[in-house]
Amino acid sequence: MERPDPEFRALVDKVSAAESWVIDGNYSVARDILWPRATTIIWLNHSFELVLYRAVTRSIYRTSTKKPLFAGNVETFRHSFLSRDSIILWVLKTFHTKRARYANLLTSNELPGINIIELSGQKQVDAFLDNVEVR
């Protein structure tokens, strides 16, 4: 179950007030908190085909193994493939709009001083990770 927005924003505010932090995800509800505090934003700008493929294969794996996810949730075939809340349907409906929105946001002049890294494809991600210095 999702946290209510005010509770989620308070948690994000607390975590991102630390000297260093990493957030995974594109939480638009907290973007106004996170982005002004960020030094680097990494955009995994994968192709539609790759994102859809991964959503389908991940859903197949999760429904067949019944592996518990966050908060003990377990994906079912019905929810993953036959529901209006299906992640696969969500990818189909939102991918292109979200990609265009992020392209505009990340190339705007509203992010002065923030290092934007766009990685388009797994080879670029792998090369980037090979050069990351872990502290």
* pLDDT for 110: 76
pLDDT per position as a tens digit, 65-124: 998 887 778 888 888 888 998 999 999 999 999 999 999 988 887 778 899 999 999 999
Predicted confidence band of residue 126 (pLDDT cuts 50, 70, 90): very high
Residue type, 93: K
CB proximity list for 16: less than 8 A, separation 6 or greater: 23, 33, 34, 37
pLDDT per position as a tens digit, 23-70: 887 788 999 999 999 999 999 999 999 999 999 999 999 999 998 887
> What 3-state DSSP class applies to 44?
strand
* pLDDT for 1: 63
Predicted confidence band of residue 135 (pLDDT cuts 50, 70, 90): low
Bridge partners (DSSP) listed for residue 41: 116
